[in-house]
Amino acid sequence: MPRRPLDHPASMASAPVSPDRSHAGPAPLPSPDQPTPLLGNLTPSQFMRRYWQKKPLLIRQAIPQVAAPLSRDELFDLAGSDDVEARLITRFRNRWQLAHGPFSGDDLPTVRQRAWTLLVQGVDLHDDRARALLDRFRFVPDARLDDLMISYATDGGGVGPHFDSYDVFLLQVHGKRRWRIGAQRDLSLEEGVPLKVLRHFEPDEEWVLEPGDMLYLPPHIAHDGVAEGECMTCSIGFRAPSTGELTSQFLYHLAESGSGGATSAALYRDPGQPAVECPAELPHALVAKVGEMLAKVRWQERDIVSFLGAYLSEPKPSVFFEPPARPLNEARFAALAAKSGIRLDRRTLLLYDHRAYFVNGEENALSNARKWLPEFANKRSLSAKRFVTLSHDSSVTALLHEWYCAGWVQVGELA
């Protein structure tokens, strides 16, 4: 990426970005056993075995000649959208401050002002170029892949030393950022700060990352990144739901689905309840009886699969699909798909196992779809030739047309 002196505030606004992939097909699937510069010429299998959730890895020129998915001006515009999670972090006069978007142009400091950072979450949901970059990391299951966040910072900008509870790849796409990392014994936080900033950060290693360089960090490795001049960093994060979150959501799923054994629908009964003198006191018999009821709740592996598929494919609350303004009828849809192919919308989440598929939180039996749906889910696209072959089955065309009308599938204008 060409660099200009920092006294040219337009340097990043007009900097080149990735080629417009708004109508391009999804990136090819990474091969588990093919060495790749993205992982320092390791194969994805080697990386997952040696580093994933084990130890950090610095990768020089993971993506040579990388370009930012969005320019600075495009990122600022996106941060002004109501359906985008954006945060502004400043440290002026040695005081941390945090503000939540959306942000208008006047809400952001001038790019000449030092020590501020704009974080825009889920950029892959709003731009196909960001989605294409996220797809490079699909050697990790989609069920774990979360989103791509872009961090823009002026000189000296950062969010302070901290640690995350999830895995993250930190890809430098513009300018330079100095990273310091280290495992910490003291996890106490600074008081009176709106961020989780470590009070006594002790780094073990330090590097300056330039465009194309990338740092992988497993959970709980503390890190502190500070911009050296204007810079932009892409953060590829992964889902790591807590035990409490999974437990509460799974039990809710059991109740909603009517699973949990034959006794799950039984009502509480207490025919032996005597009259009481202290009505506000919680009855011991009630506690014991409810304990017995809960102990009888049962579930099978299929209940867990059903829960995980629906839960992990459920779009985030901020995601809204946009059906076509003038949808094609099924015949015209099929004709266009036969010429140009189809692809999943960048916001669509499609998972499957050997019995069912899960699309945007909905579960359906795999049945006849097992001949083509796993391929579609993994590639996130079907070529025109492949669609023609599949369209001989009218149920396939009908289902894909239904998804197209819902905004879950895009057709035509593919590369």
pLDDT at 414 over 70: no
pLDDT at 26 over 90: no
- Which residue range forms the structural domain that includes residue 366? 330-411
Same domain, 224 and 286: no
Check if the beta carbon of residue 409 is closer than 8 Å to that of residue 342.
yes
| Residue 108 is assigned to a structural domain of this protein | yes
| Residue 303 is assigned to a structural domain of this protein | no
Same domain, 197 and 256: no
Find, among 178, 130, 129, 132, the residue nearest to 153 by Cα.
Answer: 178
Same domain, 261 and 127: no
pLDDT at 51 over 50: yes
| Residue 349 is assigned to a structural domain of this protein | yes
- Residue whose pair of structure tokens reads 């204007």 in the numeric block: 230
Position 415 scores a pLDDT of: 36
For residue 413, name the pLDDT band (cuts at 50, 70, 90). Answer: low
Chain segment 98-130, per-residue pLDDT in tens: 999 999 888 999 999 999 999 999 999 999 999
Amino acid at 293: M
Same domain, 223 and 264: no
**Residue 53 Cα to chain centre, angstroms:** 17
The answer for residues whose C-beta is within 8 angstroms of residue 19's C-beta and 6 or more apart is: 129
DSSP labels for 235-246?
A: EEEE----HHHH
Position 265 scores a pLDDT of: 66
Q: What is the mean pLDDT of residues 31-58?
A: 97
- Residue with the bigger pLDDT between 329 and 15: it is 329
Distance CA 364, CA 366 (A): 6
Taking residue 295's Cβ as centre, other Cβ atoms within 10 Å add up to 9
Position 326 scores a pLDDT of: 95
| Residue 320 is assigned to a structural domain of this protein | no
Q: In Å, what is the CA distance from 107 to each residue of 80, 87, 90?
A: 9, 11, 12
By CB atoms closer than 10 A (0-12, 13-18, 19+), residue 394 is exposed
Same domain, 229 and 246: no
Chain segment 381-392, per-residue pLDDT in tens: 999 999 999 999
| Residue 375 is assigned to a structural domain of this protein | yes
Chain segment 137-185, per-residue pLDDT in tens: 999 999 999 999 999 999 999 999 999 999 999 999 999 999 999 999 8
